[in-house]
Amino acid sequence: MKQKGYLLSILIFSLLILLSCEKIYDPIEIRGRVVDLETSQPISNATVTITSPADLSEQTFSNEAGEFIFSEVAVDSVIDITFQAIREGFSSEQITVLAAPERLLVVPELKLRNLQTDDDNGTTPGTGNGGGAAAIQLLDIRSTTLNIAETGGGTSSAFTFVVLDSTDAPLSAANAVDVEFRITEGPGGGESISPATVRTNEQGTVTSSIFAGNSAGNLKIEAKIERPEHGITIRSTPIALTIHGGFPNLDHFTIAVNASSPVNVPRYLAGLRVPIDVILGDKFSNPVKPETPVYFNTDGGVIQGSGLTDADGEVQVDLLVANPQPPAGIATVRAHTFDENDNELSKITNVIFSGPPSTEFTSLSPMNFNFNPGQTRNYTLTLTDDNGNILPAGTSISLDSDDDIEFSRDSFEVPSSYFTGSNRTQFTFRVTAGEEFSGNAEIEVTIEAPGLAPLIIVYN
């Protein structure tokens, strides 16, 4: 019995050690702002609540500037956090945002509709006395952005329409009608509305919900009332929504130097900016949800540390040419983010920090410049930097001679390329002597790299 107790103590002690080794993250700060949907003016004293996940449930209020803060929120993995803003006299608003450990989270503006404005326009509930339905208007919608199914976050949104009679007052209970809802435009990923038909209540309103499918894209829904006794169909103005993608997926993760920039840049031009693009998709090949964070680092130069994806799943940061110089002149830029299970995903790309041209790393072959009249000879000009890499893109090379010889081609330009070889670091041309020329010819090679004075090398 003593031995069993001893072994149990060891197991408990070992478990405590393992638990103590788990990484503990500092709480994050969350900031945001509540504003009027129509005027963009700040809304004070709005109640802002973290509604999901449940273990982070917390409540605060907006100040006179409409700003709110959650100062210490325990986020230990990449998760979706859903916020809801409510104030008397306004519609409610809900938004879901991706949060990461130890990163300040700035919530997009929560925009509330002033319902008092609707009352002033004669839409006070329960006063309908103008007969049957004449019009239908959107009264409230929880959110105009959804996330695709199976990716977490808000995958549905409730909406409310009000049916008006001929006096622009809400329809009375005595004149109640059925309102049908349908999707008029969508990505075709299994989106749905439930319930699809709702009867107006005593306030003349109907409420239903739109549910996202597994495809991202734009979505439009419409409310419709049929009045066959009068031979008319009443339709609402279509509501436009957006379905965003899910979490990043490694198979849909791309990083590259932006097409507007060369990949071989002059390392001697400190502060030169090289735009780096990342494109992120989810497991369904849709762009990830907007404002998904992507983090960057590099072993050459200085890079902006992070960025947020846009509606197309793209994010761009700048790599600045600076110290430290990368190993062998080739900088490795790494981007990383997290998938739905908090696993780190990363991809890399390279940027060549090219050195200036020099006589030491420039050669012309063959080194034979003696010509007979009319003789032709092929030459190869080889140029690299001190690391054996390609020179900076845009470097120009020109050939000239005071002698009676002709060049098959007298100018070249270094392209944007990672590689060495033909038309990158090696340029071939043909020289033909004049019919009356005999002897040694002089070939002048001028190399002009971006931001530098021309380098002139004479071969004879």
In order of their start, the domains of the chain are 24-120 (2.60.40.1120), 122-244 (2.60.40.10), 250-354 (2.60.40.10), 359-459 (2.60.40.10)
Question: What spatial distance separates the first Cα and last Cα of the chain, rounded to whole Å?
Answer: 98
Of 129, 127, 82, 126, which is closest to residue 108 (Cα–Cα)? 82
Residue 232: C-alpha distances to residues 53, 154, 205, 224, 229 (Å): 46, 36, 20, 11, 8
Rounded to whole angstroms, the Cα distance separating 153 from 97 reads 8
What is the structure's pLDDT at 73?
Answer: 94
What is the structure's pLDDT at 151?
Answer: 66
**116 secondary structure, DSSP code:** H
- Residues lower than pLDDT 70 in the chain: 1-23, 116-130, 150-153
Strand order in the sheet with 306-308: 264-266, 344-354, 330-338, 293-298, 306-308
Q: Decide: 377 and 368 in contact? Cβ < 8 Å.
A: yes
Residue 412: C-alpha distances to residues 138, 216, 259, 397 (Å): 64, 47, 21, 5
What is the structure's pLDDT at 7?
Answer: 46
What is the structure's pLDDT at 15?
Answer: 47
What is the structure's pLDDT at 117?
Answer: 60
Rounded to whole angstroms, the Cα distance separating 164 from 154 reads 30
Q: Within 13 A of 266's CA, how many CA atoms are on the CB side?
A: 16
Of 73, 80, 141, 148, which is closest to residue 111 (Cα–Cα)? 141
Q: Which residues lie across from 145 on neighbouring strands?
A: 242
